[in-house]
């Protein structure tokens, strides 16, 4: 079914994004997996092509596209190549960007955004902690006022871009007695004394992205590095999460769709019992099911993207899109591995790598169980 979400400008942008992927990502795919991070030169090239500042005002070096559909196009093209590369770029340009654009002062914008757009300043966001994942209100990292500065102590884990980030937005508790209403966001920068990174975490999949533990031991952060309002960090995060979740939904389905296409082609060529395996009735019916599932899911995600672009996407609909696409993505890719047989378990096949990469999508950006809890509450249950 023809998609109606995008216009000529979006498709022209897609061609640029696809060319960037084909020139800068695909030729070094194995290298990125082995080294477990994206080379800074790739980030700089993305900056030169205008892919990092889609939400940033022109005055600070961005393109100020003013249309979330451009973000979605970029996520789709990156996801077709690599879920991990899409995740890393998404954290920087799609998740962190709104914080730095909407919640910062003019001085902070001037200080950070120009290099954010060029790729010279790589960013991450530090929410998740070792003691709790999706329960952001229970975080334990503390920030205590000391004159005009704040002293941060604590740790974060599973932080995408965490190993190489130059600036990390860190959620810390500033008024413990206020619980969720006592959290503040701080920009912690490379070189601040007491800010240390652990090892690059050894993940099941998504090897191209550097994911790390972060440690804060008496890190002195000036008040000039506060993002947004003091004690309103939890509210700021809740306001930003719908974009993160619809972005995850876009990437999830865009990641699964091309692997399914490749699997269909494989089913036409691979023979068993004297005929292509795709012509066997079970496989034929299965592929019909998977194609339908992907296209129906795509239609819902497109509606969510359109709603977000017009400022109408609700947190509940974003939660629906996030959990459903993660579920469909994992089901589709599991069947793709099965259809490849033993080859599907070999990492030189994209189906195997995609299968490993996808499993985390049911966990991050709020686990699927948390998404269902949000939807259930909205039903009055």
Question: Which residues are designated catalytic?
Answer: 244
Tokens of 188: 């912690």
The structure tokens 């962190």 sit at: 96
Single out the residue of 24, 77, 81, 73 nearest to residue 47, CA to CA: 24
Cα 305–chain centre separation: 15
Residue 254: partners with Cβ closer than 8 Å, 6 or more residues away:
75, 76, 77, 79, 80, 86
- Report the 10 Å Cβ neighbour count for 379: 7
Q: Is 271 helix (H, G, I), strand (E, B) or coil?
A: strand
**C-beta separation of 130 from 157 below 8 A:** yes
Single out the residue of 83, 373, 122, 133 nearest to residue 248, CA to CA: 83
Single out the residue of 62, 82, 67, 63 nearest to residue 21, CA to CA: 82
Single out the residue of 311, 321, 298 nearest to residue 368, CA to CA: 321
**C-beta separation of 325 from 297 below 8 A:** yes
Tokens of 85: 């590369």
**Helices 315-339 and 368-378, packing angle to 10 deg:** 140
**C-beta separation of 25 from 42 below 8 A:** yes
């Amino acid at each position: 079914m023809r998609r109606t979400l995008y216009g000529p400008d979006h498709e022209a942008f897609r061609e640029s994004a696809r060319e960037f992927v084909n020139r800068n990502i695909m030729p070094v795919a194995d290298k990125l997996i082995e080294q477990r991070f994206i080379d800074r030169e790739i980030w700089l090239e993305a900056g030169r092509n205008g892919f990092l500042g889609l939400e940033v005002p022109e005055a600070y070096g961005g393109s100020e596209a003013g249309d979330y559909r451009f973000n979605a196009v970029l996520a789709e093209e990156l996801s077709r190549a690599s879920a991990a590369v899409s995740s890393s770029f998404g954290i920087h340009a799609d998740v962190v960007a709104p914080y730095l654009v909407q919640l910062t002062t003019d001085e902070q914008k001037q200080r950070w955004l120009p290099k954010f757009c060029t790729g010279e300043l790589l960013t991450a966001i530090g929410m998740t902690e070792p003691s709790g994942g999706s329960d952001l209100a229970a975080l334990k990292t503390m920030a205590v006022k000391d004159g005009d500065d704040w002293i941060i102590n604590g740790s974060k884990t599973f932080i995408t871009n965490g190993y190489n980030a130059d600036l990390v937005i860190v959620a810390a508790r500033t008024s413990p007695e206020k619980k969720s209403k006592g959290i503040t966001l701080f920009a912690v920068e490379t070189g601040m004394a007491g800010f240390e990174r652990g090892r690059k975490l050894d993940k099941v999949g998504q090897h191209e992205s550097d994911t790390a533990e972060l440690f804060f031991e008496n890190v002195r952060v000036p008040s000039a590095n506060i993002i947004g309002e003091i004690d309103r960090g939890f509210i700021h995060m809740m306001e930003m999460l719908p974009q993160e979740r619809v972005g995850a939904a876009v990437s999830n389905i865009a990641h699964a769709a091309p692997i399914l296409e490749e699997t269909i082609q494989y089913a036409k060529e691979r023979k068993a019992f004297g005929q292509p395996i795709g012509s066997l009735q079970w496989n034929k019916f299965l592929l019909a099911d998977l194609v339908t599932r992907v296209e129906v899911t795509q239609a819902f995600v497109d509606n969510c993207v359109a709603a977000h672009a017009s400022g109408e996407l609700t947190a509940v609909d974003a939660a629906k899109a996030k959990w459903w696409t993660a579920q469909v993505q994992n089901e589709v890719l599991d069947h793709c591995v099965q259809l490849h047989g033993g080859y599907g378990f070999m990492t030189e096949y994209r189906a195997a790598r995609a299968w490993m990469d996808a499993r985390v999508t049911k966990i991050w950006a709020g686990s699927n169980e948390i998404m269902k809890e949000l939807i259930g509450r909205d039903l009055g249950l």
